[in-house]
Structure 1
């Protein structure tokens, strides 16, 4: 190509900077700016209208955020990007609306429960302490919760694990469909129904209230959760692992115990921990079957016991300022117990997760 032809070629137009308004693209800080403007407008409109509810302020601000994001993106960019940003904004708004009640609950529980939560509260019972007066502790309720939840776990985990193995590895035909149906039905059973079922058995055989009866009711509630979570984890194990083991002549029961279960152990443990966290806060079966006690009872097979949910209900029922403080402190202990279980489940799941090569 000659020098003259090269000089006659038109000079390309400069490419606008990426991410700026001149490039027909909103900057990265645009969502944050939309949020600030929306909150300011939402608060201003609510104050001008005389609305005192902060929930209304938040809903109006969220609606304005969606509208402003869509209109600004349509003007600066295009309709396609506006729809994409609208969908993203809806996801963020829904996430914030879901998180706000959670943080509000935690904040109220911590701020009100920290008043009496100390070493004395955790190491003493309510023996000899009038409910309307300060003092006393939650030690007897912690002992009851640990024993009742522990017994329910010992009962439900083997049954749930073996049932899930049957459904995934062996279950075919009408029996498997019937088991699946009843597991689904049991998942939605209210806790009071499980308590009434065990209460009828107690009345028929003249049994006394004890932690064991409460543990049996909790086990009924826990079994379907364990079955469902374990079943889903076993289904995630690749069939190639089973086929490789069987091709080497390994019996099916050893394939299940040595290959399938170890591969899914992390997810199974997480499901069991979530099931434990689910039953740890049940109150109705404990009221019906354990009756509650102000004394320390370390024997779950004889005599009435207390538990953290029952303790919270009992203290709040008294109605004094001191009992309210004890109820909130016990609620904080229960939340900490559930949180620790979830952290343990996450740690075990990460520890037992299958190792992948680079």
Structure 2
């Protein structure tokens, strides 16, 4: 008896799903085209309307950029891509609005401050130079800024570091909450209030103005910044490191000193540098407590001193062309000082960052 094989016809395969990549899409250079068209429309409409402010032209161009991006994407692609393009355009516009004033400030400061910024300006003071005449330098103000900021750092960093260690490692209950509350309040204190507080102490004890009094006021402004930044860095240290050290029988104070602080040292240093940069430009406490001086005073504990912010205000108040040039040059020196501190902070943070890998 023979068996015959029954052949089953093959089942037809379903049609492939429609590809989502086959739809229309804008080219990659479309945002640049939108930006060019928006700038042309904004500048053209601003010129026709008689607007002389370049800021108005820029804001109008930004508005046109957002509208053109959404409209064209909605017409060519779809609503979903249009919403995504709208969000991306708003982010880019906000980024440009934040960066343009910064670059404008740096450009104006460099262009106007470089007129008199040279070796003579950095190594001479204003002794014997009338404010309305050319000449003179900023050396005495640089000395005052370095000494006052240095003293404020020496005073505030140990206090802020120990306060942050207490709040993270030991602080519990009402006292810790009170310390946290007052640190938050001190963060928002205006510099003039710190200056008035120290000025009242000077009047009570009949103290003379000096760089030390200005440094004390700057330390008051610096302490809450150091406390907050150090506290956040210490909280980032994993508890497993503390538990491993304590499990080996190491005392808690030694665990903090040898494990916790070295682990967070990069972030702590960055916070300290940012706090130093924050107080380097304060003027009000120096005006009240240091009084300013045209002469070089290398002793911060006796006599009036100058500083870079006070020097800028002093020269701008004179009102002559030469004093304006000196003020812009001093502003450029101050910006360079703050930028150098930020670069040092980034370098230390990268150097002390935890090493990754096996």
Q: After alignment, is 159-168 or 241-250 more displaced?
A: 241-250
Matched ranges for 1:1-358 at <5 A: 23-358=23-358
TM-score (norm 2): 0.94
Question: Could you tell me how far apart the structure 2 residues matched to 1:234 and 1:10 are?
Answer: 60
Q: How far is the alpha carbon of 1:5 from its aligned partner? A: 7.5
Question: Could you tell me how far apart the structure 1 residues matched to 2:28 and 2:208 are?
Answer: 66
Question: Could you tell me how far apart the structure 2 residues matched to 1:11 and 1:182 are?
Answer: 70
Structure 1 residues 247 and 294, CA gap change in structure 2 (3 angstroms): same
Question: Could you tell me how far apart the structure 1 residues matched to 2:25 and 2:265 are?
Answer: 48
Question: Could you tell me how far apart the structure 2 residues matched to 1:338 and 1:107 are?
Answer: 16
* Aligned twin of 2:3: none
Residues 66-124 of structure 1 show CA distances to partners (whole Å, capped at 9, x for unaligned) of 11111122122221221111111111100000000000000110000000000000000
Q: After alignment, is 216-225 or 241-250 more displaced?
A: 241-250
Question: Could you tell me how far apart the structure 1 residues matched to 2:240 and 2:35 are?
Answer: 50
| 4+ residue runs over 4 A deviation | 8-16
Question: Could you tell me how far apart the structure 2 residues matched to 1:146 and 1:284 are?
Answer: 17
SS in 2 for 1:97: helix
Higher alpha-carbon Rg:
2
Structure 1 residues 274 and 13, CA gap change in structure 2 (3 angstroms): closer
SS in 2 for 1:306: coil
Q: After alignment, is 22-31 or 156-165 more displaced?
A: 22-31
Q: How far is the alpha carbon of 1:240 from its aligned partner? A: 1.3
Question: Could you tell me how far apart the structure 1 residues matched to 2:199 and 2:31 are?
Answer: 57
Unaligned runs of 5+ in 1: none
Q: How far is the alpha carbon of 1:34 from its aligned partner? A: 0.8
Structure 1 residues 11 and 334, CA gap change in structure 2 (3 angstroms): same
Q: How many residue pairs get matched?
A: 351
Q: After alignment, is 234-243 or 305-314 more displaced?
A: 234-243
Q: How far is the alpha carbon of 1:23 from its aligned partner? A: 3.4
Question: Could you tell me how far apart the structure 2 residues matched to 1:157 and 1:236 are?
Answer: 19
Question: Could you tell me how far apart the structure 2 residues matched to 1:207 and 1:10 are?
Answer: 94
Residues 224-279 of structure 1 show CA distances to partners (whole Å, capped at 9, x for unaligned) of 00000101111111111111111221111111111111111111111000000000
TM-score (norm 1): 0.94
Question: Could you tell me how far apart the structure 1 residues matched to 2:312 and 2:250 are?
Answer: 53
Residues 33-58 of structure 1 show CA distances to partners (whole Å, capped at 9, x for unaligned) of 11111111111111122222111111
SS in 2 for 1:23: coil
